[in-house]
Each structure stands twice: as structure tokens, then as C-alpha cells.
A and B are shown apart, each in its own frame.
Chain A
Amino acid sequence: MSKLGTFTAPFIKDKAKAETLYLDVIVALLPPLAWGVYIYGARSIVITLLSVLGAVLTQLIWSASIKTKLFDLSSVITGIIVALLCPVSAPLWLAPLGSAFGILVGKLIFGGVGRNLFNPAALGVVFLNVAFGEKMNTFVAPFEKLPAFALAPTTAELMENPLVTLKNGMMDVSNIWEKIYGMICGNIGEMSKIMIVLAFLYLFVRGTVKLEKTLSYIGGMVFFVALYCYLVAMPEPFEYAAAHLFSGSTVFVAVFLCNDYSTTPTTSNGAIFFGVICAMLTTVLRVFCDIPDGAVFAVLITNALVPALERKTRMAYFGQFFKQREVRVNADETK
């Protein structure tokens, strides 16, 4: 009994650890990556590894220079997400540049994990889209294997972004199932919706994510696109909404970017508002603006609203209604 230490309550602890949560997300990012490799070959992996390297190196250099905690797995997640949102035809330096920019400007200068306002991965991708718009929006056809280590591959067959087709009012509802399977061209990680849903189920079963953010974003997408179709009197609004939902990075964003802990509201109601606002912005950007895939932009804009959303959607504290009723009753009595 002599070597009893000093401890404070509680003396037991839940199993969940921050590192486990990060690992869960990394594991969940593997199926979409695997599909990218299946469609486009080993170049997908090379891009992803370089992107992770860019993010991790940035983090390490920063931490060493200001002497803080050296490393956490969240920068690996940022690196993978940036890579999965890049096309496979992009030059090899593109994704690392994006992830390094995202980590540095989106996370590190805010004070590190948990203190950042903007999603670092979204910031990196948006930066790449703004700076290298053409490189970020040209896709090669499925099963067109590119040389894995070519710095900037020159391919014969470049395809237009399917979202540009969609924007011009052309619709190919016939291949909606191909979009769900993932037999389409697109960014490395966003093609197969089945793989992404699989990843989401894994995260949900592990208790890493909550349903609200993802479902409110997807529900909001369907609602706002269908509403737009209804307002401009387009036939078959729900088919058009489905085409939007399964094109571009909508589902990927709904699962991975909308569920980021740091940059989305911690309150349940706030999470629903976040998803709906984000869906509205995505629809507006896609339908009215010149940006082909507005989903990542929308996430970045909605990130800025998070503090306000949290403030307005706090749960009533325990006994608040009782107090309010008491005040009302007292006011009635004095009348």
C-alpha cells in the first residue's frame, strides 16, 4: 500500500483514443483508393504516397521549427484526401503541393489539430483548383493505364469532366448505375460510390462518425437540385438530382469532408444545418457558377459558418425550460 499514486476521477476510461479514430478514417479511405488503383493503375498509389509525404513533411518541419508535439496522424488523412480528390492525369508534384499548402495554411498556422477553422484537405484541393484549374479538371477514360512514375503524362485521350456535361443541360441518365459502380472517369477516390458507402458504414459501425452530417448533406443535395429542376420546369427532376449526387465528389465530400471533427459543428442540430447549408451552396455553385465541382468549395465556405452555427444551435441546458416557464408564470402573476 506504500506506492499508491495520485490520480483524479474518473478512474476508468472509454476505449476510444484519438489515434484510433484517425486510424479508422485512414482504413476507411482505403476502399476508395483501392478502386482508384483498379481503374487507373499504380499511378494512383504513387500520387497518394507523394501527397501524404508532402503533408507529413510539412507538419514535421513546422513542428521541429516551433518545437511542439512532432506528429499526429491527422496530416496523413489530409494527404490521402487531397490525393483522392486529384485526377490521375495530374503531374506528380500537384497533389503534394496541395496537401502541403492545406496543412500549412489550413491547420498549422491556426495552432494545430482541433483549432483550425477550415478543413485543410478542402483548402488544399480548392487551392489546386484555383491555381491549376485545367490540370485538375481533365480526366482520362477508365482503364487507361498511365505510366506510374511519369512526372506529367501526355495521353492521347482526355475526357471532359462529366459535371460540365451535366451543367450544359445534357443528361445521361442511362449510365447512372455505372456512376454508382464506378466505371466512369473522375478523381482517384470519388468514382465508386459503393466503395465510399462501404467506408461510411465502417466508420459508422466503429462509432467514429455520426449520421447527421452525411445524411443532411445528401438529403439537402437531392432536395435543392430537384427544387431547381422544378423551378426551371425541367422534366424528371429526381433523375437529374441523382445524376448530380453520383457525379463528381458529392458522396466523397459527404462522407469524408463533412465528418471532419475540427471543422464541423459539435452540436447535433448544428451538424444538420451544416449539411443543408453545404448542400445548398454546392447546388448553387454547380448550377449557376463556372466551377465544375462545387462540393469542396461549398465545404470550405460552410466551414467559416461553424462557430456561428454552434452558437445558435446549442442544446438547452438542463432545466432551462423549467426556468423559462417559472419566469413566465411569475410575470403572469405580477400582471
Chain B
Amino acid sequence: MPVAFVGGKKVYRSLNSLDSKIKEMTPPETVVISLKQHIGTPAKCVVSLGEYVTVGQLIGEADGDYSANVHSSVSGIVCAIELDENGIYCIKIENDGSNTASDPTPYTASLLTSTPEQLVEEISKYGIVGRGGAGFPTHTKLKNTLGNVNKFLINCVESEPFMTKDAALLREYPADIVSGIKIMMKILQIKKADVFVGEQMLEQGYNFLNYLKDRSFIDVNLCDDKYPQGDERQLIAAVYKTEIPYDRLPPDTFSVVFNVETCFQIYDCLSKGTPITRSLISVDGDGIETPQNILVPLGTSIADVIKFCGGLKDNCKCVVVGGSMMGDAVNPFDTYVTKTTSSITCFKNPPEHKGEDCIRCGRCEDVCPMHIPVPLLNRLWEIDDISEAKINMAHICVGCGVCTYVCPSDLPLKDRVEELREKIIMEAENE
């Protein structure tokens, strides 16, 4: 029986990008690499204008524990270091096309004899961050959970529709994933790892299970194809029936969740000695010519990725980065691929959410994964009652957008609840 959390909704899903093999994108002429591709403090710039950098060379050094290294994804001249609209330094590198790489030193030789601390130290060099969307630095997460967890979950649920990168990874690199999981198990000193796959990738999950043969240390489990099952709190709620509050983290229940792609990246980096310079991205939607999964060099503009995928169809109205349920419509020319970018989706007819009257059907309340009374919060938004909204827990909204998805009146419920949430947080800060 597949496990599932309470609430959620099976949303429209597209698997078009799963058909073809994972491709590598040819590096573009220029890349713009932000020094903040993770949660926490931005990295410090360690290159100067006009310097020649190689593929995989350190260009941003981690600043403190909650930070991650940033490396160049192409070889060439640093032609600009400028601030973006958020005040973060971005390094613009002109690609010389030679693809010169700094000589890598694989770590596999000493893998068996290293202690967990040494392994975490090694991982921290490669600038690996979580692939769930927030971009929590992986080495920090490992350091924080070292020795105080006994449940290890690997998240391959991928509940965002239009995203198939985890399924494709499971299909094409099972050996790398298993090796990555083994390294993680060694670091965390856990004997058993559980991989959770969504029902939509039943075939890939089954093949992975056959590849494993021995299920005693890595097991594969099935989750309902329901959005937002891929959230780590919802995954733990589904598996262990423990709901972790908004201000607590999984280690408080002795569990830790890692994305399957993080496991893959850890093995990939350690075995080759090369840092993270590419992101695996699902490109899909009814507005793109050829949907596919591609490995994109960091700092590539979204427009270049779209061009590589055959371009947009004529009547495509919006390009979304970050998933069709939670992402943002962006201008493809001034948005660049970061370590947390996981999907580019192009839509011909996106809904406008311009409804007026709530008919109180209660669908939003039924599907809300945080179980907050959305119809009531909608009314409270209308009269701008912040204190009552706080009593009704508007501030624990995770912004998954499933309420807006189901609303038959086309109300922008997610935007309204998030507005209340921001006001509550602002009020709490002012006090």
C-alpha cells in the first residue's frame, strides 16, 4: 500500500520529459553565476575582473557554516562582477569554448577509511546544496544531524507535476545513487535507508528495486501520487504519522530526509573530484518544442536553455522557473540557472486566478496539507484581520498552492494566505 499524508490532491501531471535520455547541454557563450545559490550567507568572491578561470575552479568561497562554495561552470575570462537586484554579487564569465578543467583529485581511494567528519569536510568543498528548492547546504545538514538520527529517508517522490528529473535519474544512474546512499549511510552511521518514490514513477522504482536485489539495507517504498507529497514534512507525516511543526526540523524526530539527487551528486563529486557545476533540469509544458531532462551548466540563462530545447511555441504565454505549482513566472533573458533550479515549464494558457466570490465549497480546506481553515482566512483577508488570522495559524502556510489549484471560484487563495502570513511575521518582528 502506498503511504500518503492527510490532505493534498492528485494534480494534472505530464511525463513528456521522461521519454528521452538525460542530455548534457553545450555550455553557452556567457554564464552569470550568482554567489548566493543556497540558503544562508552569500559566498565571498575570490576571483578578480579579467582573471582566467577553469571549469570547476572556486570562484566563491563559503562564508561561515550556513554557506556553500560556488565554482565556475565554464572556462574563460571573468568579464564582469556586478550586483543583482537583491544586492548579491554575480560573476559573469565569457566562455572561451576550450573547456579547460582544473585537474580533479578523486576521493574514492580513502573512502573506506575516512571518518564521518572527514567525509563531511570533503563534501563541503564541492558546494552541494539541497535540491528541494530551498537550497540548504548539504554539508551543514549532515553536520547538524551527525549522530542524532536513526531514520534515513531518501526523497524521490517528486510530487511537482511537469517534473521527471528524479525518475530519469533513477532510471539512468541507479549504481551512482546506491553508492551515494552508501556514503550517506556511512556518514550518518545508519544501517537502513528508505527510498520513497511516487506512484507516477512506478516503473522506474520497480526497475531500481530489481537493480538492488538485496532490500536489507536500502528499501524502496511507494507514495501516493499526490501534491505536495514531496515536502519533507509531509513525507515524514505519511511514513511515521508524526507531524513536525513549522518551527521544528526533522532531526527533532530523529529522522533526516535527503533528495535522491543529492545522493547522486555526493557520489558524483567524490568519485570524480569535481564540484557541482551543472544542474539537472526538467523542461516541460505545452509551450516548449521538445520536453526533456538536461544537465545545464550553472549560470546559463533560461533563454539559452529554451533555445537548446527547440524554443518556445508561438502562443506560449509564460515561462516558469521552480515548478508549476510553486514557481515564479520569469523573464527568461535575465534569469539564470542556479544550483536550486529544478524545472523550467512553459505554458500556453496559464490560469489567471481572478475570481471574486467564495462559494464556501470547502475544497481548499480539505486539501490543505497544513490543515488550516482557508475559507475563513479568505474572509479574514477581505477584512484584513491579522490577529484572528494568527489564531487560525495563517503563518504556518507553506505556499504549496494546492488551495488555489482546486478553487472552483478561481480565487488567488495562496497569494491571500501568504499576504496574511507575511503581515503576521512582520507584526511579530515589530514587537
Contacts and interface: CB of A to CB of B under 8 A. Distances in A.
Nearest to B246: A319
Given A13-B351, A319-B248, A267 B359 contact: no
B365 to A, nearest CB: 5
A74 B408 CA distance: 14
Interface residues of B, number: 69
A260 to B, nearest CB: 9
A7 interface: yes
A314 interface: yes
A257 to B, nearest CB: 15
A interface, over-half SS: loop
A288 interface: no
Contact of A11 (B318, B357, B361, B410): B318
B360 A114 contact: yes
A69 B351 contact: no
B406 interface: yes
Contacts of B352: 7
B408 A319 contact: no
B408 A9 contact: no
Interface string B284-315: 00000000000000000001001000001000
Interface stretch (A17-25, A196-204, A247-255, A290-298): A17-25
Contacts of B9: 14
Nearest to B371: A315
Contacts of A268: 366
Contact of B317 (A4, A13, A114): A4
Interface in B35-75: none
B359 to A, nearest CB: 5
A107 to B, nearest CB: 12
Contacts of A4: 316-319, 329, 331-332
A6 interface: yes
Interface in A258-293: 261-262, 265-268
B332 A17 contact: no
Q: Which of B355, B363, B392 has the most CB of A within 10 A?
A: B363
Interface string B1-39: 000000001011000000000000000000000000000
Contacts, number: 161
A316 interface: yes
Contacts of A7: 317-318, 329, 347, 350-352
Contacts of B376: 310
B415 interface: yes
A262 B360 contact: yes
Contacts of A232: none
Top 5 A-B pairs, shortest CB-CB distance = A319-B245, A266-B362, A13-B351, A10-B401, A318-B370
Given A16-B363, A114-B357, 15 more contacts: A1-B316, A4-B331, A5-B318, A9-B404, A14-B11, A16-B406, A18-B355, A20-B408, A114-B359, A266-B361, A266-B375, A314-B392, A317-B396, A319-B233, A319-B246
Interface of B: 9, 11-12, 161, 233, 237, 242-246, 248, 303, 306, 312, 316-320, 323-329, 331-333, 345, 347, 350-353, 355-363, 365-366, 369-373, 375-376, 392-393, 396, 401-402, 404-410, 412, 414-415
5 contacts: A9-B323, A10-B326, A12-B405, A20-B408, A267-B362
